[in-house]
C-alpha cells in the first residue's frame, strides 16, 4: 500500500477512536446526575422555596447574575449575609455548566429559559400539564423528576403527572 494512503488510514482510525471516546464521555454526562450536595446551598437555596437546582444547568455568568440580584429574586428578597453568599457562589461557579447560557446576550437567570432546557422539554411536556395544580410551572422540577432533590434527572426517574406523551 502506498505510504500516503497508509497515513490517511491511520488518521481516519484516530478520528474514529477520538469520536468514540467523546461519545463515551457524553454517554456518561447522559446519566443526568448533578451535584447539589453543598450543605449551605441546600439549606439556603434548596429547602424552603424550591429544590436545589443543579449548578451545571447554568453557566458561571448566569450564577453570578442570580447571586448578584438576591434582593430582587423572582419577586422575593432572598438576600444572604456576605459570607454565606460568597460560599454558595463559589460552589455554583465551580460546578457551573460550561455551555454558554446567555439568552439574547444576557446571562439567563432561569434554567427553564435556556435553549437546552427548552429543547428537552418543549415537545415532551404539553401545555395542559403545566396548568395542573400539582405542577404549576417548569420551576417545579420535582413534579416530574422524582429524585430531583438529589440532583438525579435521569430518564428512569421521570413521571409526568397525567402521563408522558411523546
Contact between 149 and ligand HEC by CB under 6 A: the answer reads: no
Q: What is the DSSP string of 108-130?
A: -S-GGGSHHHHHHHTTTS-HHHH
Q: Which residues within the stretch 98-127 sit at the binding site for ligand HEC (CB under 6 A)? A: 111-112, 120-121, 124-125
Contact between 57 and ligand HEC by CB under 6 A: the answer reads: yes
Q: Which residues within the stretch 63-102 sit at the binding site for ligand HEC (CB under 6 A)? A: none
141, 53 Cβ separation under 8 angstroms: yes
Q: Dig out the grid coordinates for 48 from the structure.
A: 424552603
Distance CA 23, CA 3 (A): 30
| Residue 154 DSSP one-character state | -
Nearer to ligand HEC, 102 or 112 (CB): 112
Burial of 1 (0-12, 13-18, 19+ CB in 10 A): exposed
Of 35, 139, 146, 149, the one binding ligand HEC by CB under 6 A: 139
Query: Per-residue string for binding with ligand HEC, 5-44, x by CB under 6 A?
Result: ---------------------------x------------
Question: In the chain, helix, strand, coil percent, each to 5?
Answer: 50, 5, 40
Contact between 160 and ligand HEC by CB under 6 A: the answer reads: yes
List, in sequence order, every beta strand (DSSP E) within the chain: 102-103, 106-107
Minimum distance, C-beta of residue 153 to ligand HEC, in the bound complex (Å): 4
Contact between 164 and ligand HEC by CB under 6 A: the answer reads: yes
Nearer to ligand HEC, 88 or 110 (CB): 110
- Please state, as a whole number, how many other Cβ atoms lie within 10 Å of the Cβ of residue 32: 18
Where do contacts with ligand HEC occur on this chain (CB under 6 A)?
32, 53-54, 57, 111-112, 120-121, 124-125, 129, 135, 138-141, 143-145, 153-155, 158, 160, 164
Amino acid at each position: 500500500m502506498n505510504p500516503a494512503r497508509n497515513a490517511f488510514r491511520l488518521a481516519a482510525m484516530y478520528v474514529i477512536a477520538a469520536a468514540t471516546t467523546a461519545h463515551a464521555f457524553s454517554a456518561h454526562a447522559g446519566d443526568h446526575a448533578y451535584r447539589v450536595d453543598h450543605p449551605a446551598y441546600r439549606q439556603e437555596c434548596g429547602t424552603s422555596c424550591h429544590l436545589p437546582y443543579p449548578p451545571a444547568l447554568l453557566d458561571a455568568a448566569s450564577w453570578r447574575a442570580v447571586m448578584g440580584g438576591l434582593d430582587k429574586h423572582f419577586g422575593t428578597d432572598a438576600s444572604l449575609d456576605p459570607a454565606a453568599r460568597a460560599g454558595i457562589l463559589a460552589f455554583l461557579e465551580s460546578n457551573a455548566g460550561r455551555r454558554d447560557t446567555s439568552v439574547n446576550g444576557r446571562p439567563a437567570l432561569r434554567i427553564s429559559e435556556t435553549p437546552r432546557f427548552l429543547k428537552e422539554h418543549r415537545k415532551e411536556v404539553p401545555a395542559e400539564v403545566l396548568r395542573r395544580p400539582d405542577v404549576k410551572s417548569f420551576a417545579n422540577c420535582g413534579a416530574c423528576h422524582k429524585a430531583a432533590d438529589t440532583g438525579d434527572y435521569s430518564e428512569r426517574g421521570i413521571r409526568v403527572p397525567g402521563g408522558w406523551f411523546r
